[in-house]
Structure 1
Amino acid sequence: MAHVKIYSSDFCPYCHRAKALLRARGVTEWEEIKVDGRPEVRQEMARLAGRSTVPQIFINGQHVGGCDDLHALDARGGLEPLLRGPSPA
């Protein structure tokens, strides 16, 4: 299973929506980094993602984007292959 990292906030409905989609696609564990009251963590997230809003989602080190980006990726059929990881050689 893929390594999923989510920068999030407890009070963000988009964060909850993104995590619900991941659960629906079989993801049961992820690394969650809360930015609430932690400006240095939000700054690091913005440096890595190029965005300062949450959620920011990374799958296997690849920046997927926010909630809308995650849902769009899923709608295009790209989320599940990404979650499965690279195909064996």
Structure 2
Amino acid sequence: MFLLRQLYRGLSSLHAPTEPLKIMAVKDTVESAISGNTITIFSKTWCPYCKRAKTLLTSEFPNVQTQIVELDELDEGAAMQDYLYQKTSQRSVPNIFINQKHVGGCDSVVALNSQGKLASLVGA
């Protein structure tokens, strides 16, 4: 598993944009998604932790403006994940923002919900 993770990181860095305009476009796309929605989830379609977090957030808060960005379906997904790592120090998905605040991943959202703190964070 460790070797696969190392290989993935190495390969994903090969796809990182090298042109400044592409880097700015990726940054703008990520920041726009975060600032334009109450809940923003950067996800991958095959990830069970992403599915759990998406299900929890969309079922608990169906009327809240939520954007789900499926990184594995976007050409610039690897570059977006690299930018999110720079921004949050979190490489894994899901990478979740609520009211423009980085809250972490699936375990963090589940913990906030079980502590009764998630609803107030979403409502803030």
TMscore range, shorter length: 0.7 to 0.9
Give unpaired runs (5+ residues) of structure 2: 1-36
C-alpha separation between the residues in 2 aligned to 1:25 and 1:51? 24
Bigger share in helix: 2
TM-score, reference length from structure 1: 0.84
Compute the RMSD of aligned alpha carbons: 1.6
TM-score normalized by the length of structure 2: 0.62
Distance 1:49 1:34 in 2: 18
Higher relative contact order (CA 8 A, sep 6+): 1
Q: Which has the higher strand share?
A: 1
Between Structure 1 and Structure 2, whose CA radius of gyration is higher? 2
Identity %: 35
Q: How many residues align?
A: 84
Q: 1:53 to 1:31 in 2, by over 3 A?
A: same
5+ residue gaps, structure 1, are none
Match of 1:43 among 82, 98, 109: 82
